[in-house]
Amino acid sequence: MLKHFTKLLLPLLALAIFTGCSKTIEQNRIIPLPQSISYFDGTFQLSANSYFYTNLVGQDRVEFADYLKESPFALQQVDSKEQAKVVFEISNTLPDSLQKEGAYLLNITSKQVQVEATNPAGLFYAFQSLLQLAQIETNGNASFPLVDIADYPRFNYRGLHLDVSRHFYTKEFIKKQLDAMARYKMNYFHWHLTDGAGWRLEISQYPELTEIAAYRPYANWKEWWNGGRKYCHYSDSNAVGGYYTKQDVEEIVAYANQRHITVIPEIEMPAHSEEVVAVYPQLSCTGQPYTSAEFCIGKEATFEFLQNVLLETIDMFPSAYIHIGGDEADKRGWAKCKDCQRRMKEEGLKDVDELQSYLIHRIQDFLSQQGKRMIGWDEILEGGLAPNAIVMSWRGEGGGIEAAKKGHQVIMTPAEFCYFDAYQDAPVSQPEAIGGYLTLDKVYSYNPVPEEIKDKSDLILGVQANTWTEYISTPEHVEHMIYPRLLALSEVAWTQVDKKDWESFREGVLKETACLQEQGYSPFDLNHEVGERTEAVTPIEHLGKSKKVIYNTPYSHHYAAAGDESLTDGLRGGWSYHDKRWQGFLNTDLDVIVDMETVTDITAIYAEFLQLSGPYIWLPTNVIISVSTDGSEYTQLKTIENDIPTTYDKYIVVPFGWEGNTQARFVRYQATSCGIDGGWLFTDEIVIK
């Protein structure tokens, strides 16, 4: 059973840093790629325990010196620049392009390394580039290519999100990821500390949050989700879970700060709060545990609780930002709740969207009074956005575009490019995931500034990778999902678009993956990549291609693919239902007719369907295939019953079809939904031969 972490004193904080990797000078490729880099003939040699000089002062000087001392070079500080082999200087004379936080100049000659920056972060990032350029020998000596680098980040916000609610990870594991973030110049760690599956943050005023809501009698999230979604006391012999003490948080925040990483806590509201209202049911609309996932916005006690929790959270986290979630609220309970209805009447709110907006506005005002800015998922737009809120756009880019057009700052994190809980290779070759298919090159291709708001690009703060852990129960699996995709996002976040180069990046990633493995990480190995689903690579030719499809049941506009042409465009779906080839039908059967235009000889009719239970995608219970010559009278060719149960929880694609001989102008294809509320049918092409 996991309990809270061992308490360590901050002065004893142990430093960790990437040691040297087995690379030659010729193999070095800095990730993320600098904005400008020039190589020259020759090398610079640095012996172990060489001297460095810096003009940093105060705590910045102390922390930087400690970090360099623990580096593979074991650099020792001196007060004389003339004695130093490596010089790190804060300068006030750099050009405007290098005035940004994190910008730096790095010059390596045959005699010395010289670094200039206008801020401590720039010196730190220059050192990360130096680490990646080094070829370190067994005796601790290192060789470097001779280079001139002028570098600065494209975006100020370069984030990684980790969900520790669904599965709990130790303090040491968090610090390990901070080390990797620093190497790739990522600077915001979004810590998803609370959600229905477990509360992970010590709050002194509400001890039941960590005595009960942090533990459950299930080995993993899937068992909890399917087994009753209950919690238990930490002393229960079957208890699984854990939380971070205030001292743990202090240590992690200090560790991150030394690496120029800001830790942003997320306290979920008003939804995803099953664990809170289970132990404090008076904060729900029903007043009963295990009946709701939402706070009651009508009760003043809800705001008293949230404000008290936020005050303790603010005391622990110096970040200027606090994330309040705001996503996926089931608002039906509010519509029936007398307290919520009273609140709506008193405040003149016309619907439950505005009721949620009331909470968001009120929490933002509270945070503003504490000197903090609020970040929320893009649902906080619904009902009206609080004036100073920052929108984190995850349901595509639409929320971010809408927010920017209204003058709000935005962090782009659309699921299509930034959700690292998706499969990164063929699902049949990977550990179980929630679904999707997000490859390294797809992440790398992302540009966080949509054309629609190019003129408002200054409102795009940056980009973030999100790692949700419903299906990720071990530290090794987390790292398998994050790396090397985080390297691609680091270059998206840091490097200007015209400087990026996929081929050189991929080569660099292959070497960096080996480096990560040497350092004890568990990245996905690109050398064994299977690639896209074979059927999706080449268009299929068949008699029904480009023929008109008549929809007797509607497809979902969220997964419209190519619209009315999708099922006869010759394009079959890949591994991801997000790929705009799979067409989705929500809470309905599929019933379509393909008009062949003339009576045609037909020998085969089939379509493929996808099942993936995590995102509620199931195979049809049965399929009926019929034909007609006149569009009025239909002859049924075959009924196919599905024998794969809805409990089958692995990724699977199954064809349902008929073979024989017939003549017809109209082909009717019907697929019956499994009937589960919120269930999807996904198909990609009706193939007629």
Contact 687, 621 (CB under 8 A): no
pTM for this entry: 0.93
Q: Which CATH code fits 534-688?
A: 2.60.120.260
Question: pLDDT of 116-143, one tens digit each?
Answer: 999 999 999 999 999 999 998 877 789 9
State phi, psi for 460 to the nearest 5 degrees.
-85, 105
d(CA 96, CA 312): 40
Task: Write down the pLDDT at residue 614.
Answer: 87
353 conformational bin, left if phi > 0, alpha if psi -120 to 50, beta if neither = alpha
- CA dihedral sign, ordered 512, 518, 524, 525: positive
Query: Regarding predicted confidence, which is higher, 646 or 614?
Result: 646
For residue range 587-645, what is the model confidence (pLDDT) as tens digits? 999 999 999 999 999 999 999 999 999 899 999 999 999 999 999 999 999 999 999 99
Q: How confident is the model at residue 5 (pLDDT cuts 50, 70, 90)?
A: very low
pLDDT tens for residues 487-496?
Answer: 999 999 999 9
Closest to 465 measured CA to CA, from 441, 452, 483: 483
- Measured CA to CA in angstroms, residue 489 lies from 262, 326, 439, 493 at distances of 17, 25, 11, 6
* Listed residue (210, 213, 355, 204) closest to 277, CA to CA: 213
Mean pLDDT over each residue of the chain, to the nearest integer: 94
Residues catalogued as catalytic: 195, 272, 328
Instruction: Report which of 588, 589, 542, 587 is spatially closest to residue 567, judged by C-alpha positions.
Output: 542
Helix (H, G, I), strand (E, B) or coil at 272: coil
**How far apart are the C-alpha atoms of 453 and 96, rounded to whole Å?**
25
As a whole number of angstroms, the distance between CA 177 and CA 183 comes to 10
Q: What is the pLDDT of residue 12?
A: 37
pLDDT of residue 14: 43
Res 7 pLDDT > 80: no
pLDDT in tens, 571-586: 999 999 989 999 999 9
Per-residue model confidence as pLDDT tens digits over 143-156: 999 999 999 999 99
CATH assignment, 157-524:
3.20.20.80
Burial of 304 (0-12, 13-18, 19+ CB in 10 A): exposed
Q: How many CB atoms lie within 10 A of CB 677?
A: 6
pLDDT at residue 4 above 80?
no
C-alpha of 481 from chain center: 10
167: left (phi over 0), alpha (psi -120 to 50) or beta: beta
Residue-wise pLDDT tens digits, 299-309 = 999 999 999 99
pLDDT band at residue 385, thresholds of 50, 70 and 90? confident
590 contacts 620 by C-beta, under 8 angstroms: yes
* CATH fold of the domain at 36-151: Chitobiase; domain 2 (3.30.379)
Q: Are 410 and 391 in contact (CB under 8 A)?
A: yes
Angle at Cα 444 formed by Cα 443 and Cα 450, nearest 5°? Answer: 80
- Measuring CA to CA, how many Å separate 653 from each of 107, 183, 294, 347, 572? 54, 39, 35, 50, 12
CA atoms within 13 A on the CB side of 584: 21
Q: Which residues contact 62 (CB under 8 A, 6 or more apart)?
A: none
State pLDDT tens for residues 175-232.
999 999 999 999 999 999 999 999 999 999 999 999 999 999 999 999 999 999 999 9
Domain ranges of the chain: 36-151, 157-524, 534-688
Average pLDDT over residues 472-476: 97
Q: Residue 677: pLDDT above 60?
A: yes
